[in-house]
A and B are shown apart, each in its own frame.
Chain A
Amino acid sequence: MKRARAEILSNRSYGAYHSVTIVAPEIAETARPGQFLSVAMPEGRAFLLRRHFSIHQSSRRGGWAGTLEFTFEQHGHGTDWLAHQRAHSFLDVLGPIGTPFAFPRRLTNCLLVAEGHGAGSLYFLAQELRAQGKRVDLLVGARDLEHVFKPIEGKRLSQTVAFMTADGSMGERGSVLDALSGMAEQTRAQVLYAAGPQQMLRGVADFSNARGLPAQIAVEERMGCGYGLCYTCTVPVARKDGSGYDPLRACVDGPVFNPARVLWDQWMGERSAEEMVPTPPEGSPVVRSWPD
């Protein structure tokens, strides 16, 4: 993790999203798909915590070398502030943070499932997977047309792409989970990757588990510091040896996890610490190791 005083190169909107490109060569150099950036807010009465955004693009070489792009939806006063920052102003940025997506060594057909701005980090992953000669197919979902993130870029990066919107304003009507089974079959998916809200990730986890498909997900959990000190963003993850689980920090232990090891009921529902059981409940997903 490096710290940079990063100049904003551009701050554009794409439908419902904003996309900020910054100059931060020391971070761009090592950034990988799935990792994120931590951006400081201005000092004042209303702001305290930094804001965290997954990395949508990192240019390590070429004419725009040393730049990074991250994406967000305006929601709350922190992102409101950021949406109004102009080119040539500066941000206090930490990054890259977190564990990146792992690449499959042998398997080649990768199905990437995104909802909302989760597409940002998966497009970055798609690009890297293709560079390694993998087949990439994309399943992108959103509330409506406005919330489909950069559809043209999605088409450019994948062998096939399917769009799903809740209101049918783009692609098919429905959610990515409605199309997941058909798409996996059609593309002969061997590996699943997903980024998006909790409920969708859980659907992908159930599917990958039922089909025996190895999968990786990037979670979106509310973070305090974003660099591992405060323990506010924990996700209950079963240990590999089956001896119980650990509340792992989404920021530095994640945000990429093996969905088969996430204790979904506990993470999404049961709220009392006393109810937390020391071992995974019966019927919880079998631990599958990532293929090497």
Chain B
Amino acid sequence: MAVKDVDLAVDLNGLVLPGAVLVASGCFGSGRELGDLFEARGLGGVVSRTVTASPRKGAPSPRAAETPSGLLSMVGLQNPGADAFVADDLLHMASLGLPVIVSVAGGSVEEYVRVTAMLDGAPGVVAVEVYLAGPDEELDGQAFTARPERCAEVTGAVARRAGVPVFAKLPAMPVGLVDVAGACARAGVHGVTLIDGVPGMAVDADELASSLGAVEGFLSGPAVRPLALRAVHEVASALPELPIMGVGGVWTGRDAAELLLAGAWAVQVGTAMLTDPAAAGRVASGLADYLRGKGLVSPSDIRGRMRAPAVRPDAPSRFESGGSA
């Protein structure tokens, strides 16, 4: 009997992707930069950089700082505007033959809807991802994510306008994440992307200055992977029917497997792309190797299958204090 080989394709409640590993938003440039260093084989798609209705110049420099196991950055949504993006970058991304998920942002509900409408008829777009970490200009400039009801309002409006499935990209909020994800789902989103970068800061003590021009930035990379795992697990446990894209510090196939085990349906590779142009393909083949090693054939075989740690009767105390209690 022929043994079935691993097939990384996934079905996210009707959104079928050729692979469970995607490139995260902001980590694929225009699609041209990597040239033949980019390996599309085995990937499920790419998420575009975030686009707004009008062009944006972005944040002042410096825009990035290296911190222990994390990249702190604030690019400030630099983008050429949705029309120019569709006419140029998107055409090129679509020509790679991979599904494209477009990340959209705006300062108001109306702008989010306008950007979404500008994607009508655009080639290769299979879904929209709603970026919510930017300022809400209709209220007081706080991030949309500061008000869960605004998250639902924005994502609901985008979902009603978009002709494709919509994902809400949410931060790793310590409390209430399930409520927000649930509210977005009721508002009409197809799924959620967990997690967005974590607000952070870096200081250059030599220069007595903040390391970023915008002072505050978002932390990504290996440092945030435990936060992503927790967020994915929490939402997956409470809302098992809601597709989740897990993202945060994925560097290897094993890292991707961990997110799937915690409950993600697919995984995005972000910061790793900025240090290794072949990272996404490497993660995909690593995930296939992992599944093969376990005798499994599909990413869905491990989705949410994480168990509690096994308890062995002869195991030493979990807290090795060194003294007697």
Q: Do B69 and A222 have beta carbons less than 8 Å apart?
A: no
Which one, A118-126, A157-165, A167-175, A271-279, is touching chain B? Answer: A271-279
Q: Do A230 and B73 have beta carbons less than 8 Å apart?
A: yes
Q: How far, in Å, is B46 (CB) from chain A's closest CB? A: 11
Q: Looking across the interface, which residue of chain B has its beta carbon closest to that of A78?
A: B66
B124 at interface, CB cutoff 8 A? no
User: Cβ of B34: which chain A residues have Cβ within 8 Å of it?
Assistant: 227, 229
Q: Do A225 and B275 have beta carbons less than 8 Å apart?
A: yes
User: Cβ of A270: which chain B residues have Cβ within 8 Å of it?
Assistant: 60
Given A49-B274, A247-B78, A232–B73 Cβ distance below 8 Å?
yes
B27 at interface, CB cutoff 8 A? yes
B58 at interface, CB cutoff 8 A? yes
User: Cβ of A46: which chain B residues have Cβ within 8 Å of it?
Assistant: 68-69
Q: Do A48 and B271 have beta carbons less than 8 Å apart?
A: yes
User: Cβ of A276: which chain B residues have Cβ within 8 Å of it?
Assistant: 57, 60
B133 at interface, CB cutoff 8 A? no
B163 at interface, CB cutoff 8 A? no
B75-101 vs A, CB cutoff 8 Å, 1 = contact: the mask equals: 110100000000000000000000000
A140 at interface, CB cutoff 8 A? no
Distance in angstroms between the alpha carbons of A41 and B276 in the assembled complex: 10
Q: Do A48 and B60 have beta carbons less than 8 Å apart?
A: no
Q: Do B58 and A224 have beta carbons less than 8 Å apart?
A: no
Q: How far, in Å, is A104 (CB) from chain B's closest CB? A: 29
Interface residue total, chain A, C-beta cutoff 8 A: 32
Query: A residues 27-47 with Cβ under 8 Å of B?
Result: 40-41, 45-47
Q: Do A234 and B221 have beta carbons less than 8 Å apart?
A: no
Q: Do B275 and A48 have beta carbons less than 8 Å apart?
A: yes
Q: Looking across the interface, which residue of chain A has its beta carbon closest to that of B278?
A: A3
Q: Do A273 and B66 have beta carbons less than 8 Å apart?
A: no
User: Cβ of A230: which chain B residues have Cβ within 8 Å of it?
Assistant: 26-27, 64, 73, 75, 274
B59 at interface, CB cutoff 8 A? yes
User: Cβ of A1: which chain B residues have Cβ within 8 Å of it?
Assistant: 35, 37
Q: Looking across the interface, which residue of chain A has its beta carbon closest to that of B221?
A: A48
A128-160 vs B, CB cutoff 8 Å, 1 = contact: the mask equals: 000000000000000000000000000000000
Query: A residues 167-224 with Cβ under 8 Å of B?
Result: 221-222, 224
Q: Do A273 and B274 have beta carbons less than 8 Å apart?
A: no
Q: Looking across the interface, which residue of chain B has its beta carbon closest to that of A76?
A: B66
A231 at interface, CB cutoff 8 A? yes
Q: How far, in Å, is A35 (CB) from chain B's closest CB? A: 15
A50 at interface, CB cutoff 8 A? yes
Q: Do A247 and B57 have beta carbons less than 8 Å apart?
A: yes
User: Cβ of B213: which chain A residues have Cβ within 8 Å of it?
Assistant: 271
Given A229-B27, A273-B76, A48–B58 Cβ distance below 8 Å?
no
Q: Do A48 and B57 have beta carbons less than 8 Å apart?
A: no
From B29, B61, B222, contact of A233 by CB (8 A): B61
Q: How far, in Å, is B118 (CB) from chain A's closest CB? A: 20
Which residues from chain B sit less than 8 Å from chain A, CB to CB? 26-30, 33-35, 37, 49, 57-64, 66-71, 73, 75-76, 78, 213-214, 221-222, 271, 273-278
Which residues from chain A sit less than 8 Å from chain B, CB to CB? 1, 3, 40-41, 45-50, 94, 221-222, 224-225, 227-234, 236, 247, 252, 267, 270-273, 276
Can you give 5 A-B contacts (C-beta < 8 A)?
A1-B35, A49-B274, A230-B274, A232-B75, A233-B61
Task: For the A-B complex with A232-B64, A232-B73, A272-B60 known, give 6 more contacts whose Cβ atoms are closer than 8 Å.
Answer: A1-B37, A48-B66, A222-B64, A227-B29, A229-B273, A230-B75
